[in-house]
Amino acid sequence: MVELHNVKIKYPTGDGIENVTLKIGPGEIVFLVGPSGAGKSTVLKTIYMEERPVEGHVSVGEYNSLFIRKKDIPYLRRRLGVVFQDFKLLNDRDVFKNVSFVLEVIGAKSKDIKKRVLRSLADVGLSHKSRKYPAELSGGEQQRVAIARAIVNEPYLLLADEPTGNLDPDTTAGIMEIFERINARGTAIMIATHNYELVKKYRGRIIRIEKGKIL
Amino acid sequence: MKLLYSIKEAFAGFSRARFSFFISVFAISFLLFLIGIFGMITLNVDHLIDVLHARVDIQVFISNIYDDTQIARLGSTLSALPEVESVEFISKDAAAREFQKEFGEELFSILEDNPLPSSFIVKLREKYRTETEVARVAQTVKNIPGVDDIEYQTGALSLLTRFSGIARFVNAILLVIVISGSVFVITNTIRLIIIAKQDIINTMRLVGATNSYISRPYLIEGIIQGLLGGLIASCLCWILIKGFNWRWPGVIFINMDYLYILIGGGLVIGWLSSLFAIRRYL
């Protein structure tokens, strides 16, 4: 489903990743574990093609980094869900609009949008807060909105970049439960984290990365 | 649905860069207004030139000793010239009547017989109605037997033609200034709006919005700015024309169509500038 083959990314600062080869199969949970600056985010970025490899190639579904045209990248991203450590919510609109926005962007019908957003918010347990603004929510709640936004389009792969980085242990457990529930429905999940303790507690394949290389 | 979203976003964008928006609409209005004024001057001079052009003719005075047959033959000779559009005969009597109309004096009360020669008014074809061509044709006509004298006027025409050239030149320079100035101010406004909305744009990209979807509101913003500028400029020109015509009736000739050109021009400039801003900053 997703495959990185000998991928190399080089940033002007000298950082980057090298010789990264990995696969994610349908319905899998994969933890990408490593310290800060190891290249975890870069790996995720190559999957949603924010970064294009200077060597090797990435294939995601029918798309391949060697052949994909710039104008096709939005269509690739519609098949993936991405959750960020800093949530990237839009502060000028409420929870419902933050989630519905993804469907508006792809031109879904408004009746359809309402149904899917409400289901997604129910999945993360935030139906009752759909009219709240991000600033009125706790960190854990904001992360759940970000997850609702990532799954509303029913992606086959959910990418989460340090999804629990800023959260306390109880909230972290809540978020991980949501991930497991989503995964149980068949969505593959890749979680990038520096938290080894977290990885030990939950089932899933572990890929270790350090200094831009897979160990 | 998608278009409605774009329009809503476009108007929301203005509130994020209100000052810049007003400055740019003001600047475009002013620049297009300048174009409007010079356009008006050019149009008027051109109109005057057209009027004078239509009047360019050569009066050919016929020798007094020519009889009717010879005059008729001379008329045919003149008509046959390739440069000539029409030939009109003015008899001695007609000339005397014209003289009387002009001087208010019965010519025959002073003189016994009519000293005025008969003549032909020779009108040239459109493309020969220039100073040099008229002079050349006049010279040819003068050498035809039976032609006593000729008369023509091209001084005012050449002066106006020269002035029209200058007006066109100023207009062309203004057009360059207006277009580059407008592109600059609109581009800058859209750049500010894009910077203010960087977060939302990035997020849109990450969730799979296409570039055309992201850029449409900015395109609409540019068009609105240009259109408003064009509208204001054409209103100002309209007021100016009306005021002028009220104060000095009949002095200004104006084809109101050209006000639509100002509006259309504003729209096109707005559209092109926003395209440019999107390419550059998005």
Q: What is the dihedral of CA B70, B71, B72, B74, to 10 degrees?
A: 90
Q: Are residues B204 and B128 in the same domain?
A: no
How many other C-beta atoms lie within 10 A of the C-beta of residue A143? 29
Distance from the B15 Cα atom to the nearest Cα atom in chain A, whole angstroms: 13
Q: Does the residue B124 lie in any domain?
A: yes
**Closest B-chain CA to A50:** B206
Q: How high is the mean pLDDT of chain B? A: 83
Q: Is the pLDDT of residue A28 over 90?
A: yes
pLDDT in tens, B9-44: 777 766 666 777 888 888 888 888 888 887 788 778
Cβ-defined contact of A77 to B206 (cutoff 8 Å)? yes
pLDDT in tens, B85-105: 999 999 888 888 887 787 776
B199 to chain A: which residues are within 8 Å by CB? 88, 90
Taking the alpha carbons of A192, A194, A199, A201 in that order, is the dihedral positive or negative? negative
| pLDDT band per the 50, 70, 90 thresholds, residue B154 | confident
What pLDDT was estimated at residue B107? Answer: 63
Domain tally for chain B? 2
Cβ-defined contact of A107 to B204 (cutoff 8 Å)? no
Q: Is the pLDDT of residue B161 over 80?
A: no
What pLDDT was estimated at residue B230? Answer: 92
| Interface residue A102 vs chain B (CB under 8 A) | yes
Give me the total of CB pairs closer than 8 Å, taking one residue from chain A and one from chain B: 47
Q: Which of B199, B205, B206 to mutate to test the interface with A (most CBs of A within 10 A)?
A: B206
* Of A135-139, B17-21, B124-128, highest mean pLDDT: A135-139
B213 to chain A: which residues are within 8 Å by CB? 105
A145 to chain B: which residues are within 8 Å by CB? none
Q: Are residues B146 and B236 in the same domain?
A: no
What pLDDT was estimated at residue B106? Answer: 67
| pLDDT band per the 50, 70, 90 thresholds, residue B65 | confident
Q: Is the pLDDT of residue B129 over 70?
A: yes
Q: Is the pLDDT of residue B1 over 60?
A: no
Q: Does the residue B158 lie in any domain?
A: no
Q: Are residues B185 and B218 in the same domain?
A: yes
Q: Are residues B45 and B65 in the same domain?
A: no
Cβ-defined contact of A82 to B206 (cutoff 8 Å)? yes
| Interface residue A75 vs chain B (CB under 8 A) | yes
Cα–Cα distance measured from residue B231 to residue B225, given in angstroms and rounded to the nearest whole number: 10
Query: Pick the residue with more confidence: B11 or A26?
Result: A26
Secondary structure class of B215 (helix, strand, coil): helix
From B152, B178, B202, the end of a domain falls on B152
From B152, B172, B188, the end of a domain falls on B152
Contact present, B25 and B229 (Cβ < 8 Å): yes
Cβ-defined contact of B206 to A48 (cutoff 8 Å)? yes
Q: Does the residue B223 lie in any domain?
A: yes
* Of A177-181, B201-205, B251-255, highest mean pLDDT: A177-181
Cβ-defined contact of A104 to B208 (cutoff 8 Å)? no
Q: Which residue has the tokens 């009889």?
A: B67
What pLDDT was estimated at residue B245? Answer: 81
End-to-end CA distance of chain A: 22
pLDDT in tens, A113-124: 999 999 999 989
Q: Does the residue B174 lie in any domain?
A: yes
Q: Are residues B126 and B67 in the same domain?
A: yes
Query: Distance of CA A89 to CAs A92, B5, B128, B163, Å?
Result: 9, 19, 74, 63
From B96, B121, B152, the end of a domain falls on B152
Q: Does the residue B169 lie in any domain?
A: yes
What pLDDT was estimated at residue B153? Answer: 76
Q: What is the mean pLDDT of residues A125-134?
A: 93
Q: How much of chain B exceeds pLDDT 70, in percent?
A: 94
Question: Which of A75, A90, A153 has the CB atom closest to B203's CB atom?
Answer: A90
Contact present, A168 and A158 (Cβ < 8 Å): no
Q: Does the residue B63 lie in any domain?
A: yes
Q: Which of residues 154-213 of A touch B (CB under 8 A)?
A: none
Distance from the B8 Cα atom to the nearest Cα atom in chain A, whole angstroms: 13
What pLDDT was estimated at residue B195? Answer: 84
Using left for φ > 0, alpha for ψ between -120 and 50, and beta otherwise, residue B273 falls in alpha
pLDDT in tens, A170-186: 888 888 999 999 999 99
Q: Are residues B172 and B209 in the same domain?
A: yes
Q: What is the mean pLDDT of residues A93-102?
A: 91
Distance from the B185 Cα atom to the nearest Cα atom in chain A, whole angstroms: 27
Q: Are residues B142 and B208 in the same domain?
A: no
Cβ-defined contact of B206 to A149 (cutoff 8 Å)? no
Q: Are residues B38 and B69 in the same domain?
A: no
Cβ-defined contact of A78 to B207 (cutoff 8 Å)? yes
**Closest B-chain CA to A80:** B207
Range of the domain at B30: 2-51+163-281
What pLDDT was estimated at residue B55? Answer: 75
What pLDDT was estimated at residue A2? Answer: 93
Cα–Cα distance measured from residue A79 to residue A22, given in angstroms and rounded to the nearest whole number: 19
Cβ-defined contact of B5 to A104 (cutoff 8 Å)? yes
Q: Which of B37, B48, B47, B46 is nearest to B239 (CA)?
A: B37
What pLDDT was estimated at residue A145? Answer: 95
Residues 6+ apart with CB under 8 A from B102: none
Q: Does the residue B157 lie in any domain?
A: no
What pLDDT was estimated at residue A79? Answer: 92
pLDDT in tens, A56-71: 999 999 999 999 998 8
Q: Which amino acid is at A134?
A: P
Cβ-defined contact of A74 to B199 (cutoff 8 Å)? no
Q: What is the pTM of this model?
A: 0.68
ipTM for this prediction: 0.83
Q: Which of A44, A45, A75, A104 to mutate to test the interface with B (most CBs of B within 10 A)?
A: A104
Q: Does the residue B184 lie in any domain?
A: yes
Q: How much of chain B exceeds pLDDT 90, in percent?
A: 7
| pLDDT band per the 50, 70, 90 thresholds, residue A110 | confident
Q: Are residues B274 and B177 in the same domain?
A: yes
Q: Are residues B61 and B46 in the same domain?
A: no
Q: Are residues B191 and B249 in the same domain?
A: yes
Q: Which of A52, A54, A68, A61 is nearest to A26 (CA)?
A: A61
Half-sphere exposure of B114 (CA within 13 A, CB side): 15
Q: Are residues B13 and B75 in the same domain?
A: no
CATH number of domain containing B125: 3.30.70.3040
**A37-46, A158-167, B147-156, B228-237: lowest mean pLDDT where?**
B147-156
* Of A133-137, B15-19, B90-94, B271-275, highest mean pLDDT: A133-137
**Closest B-chain CA to A110:** B1
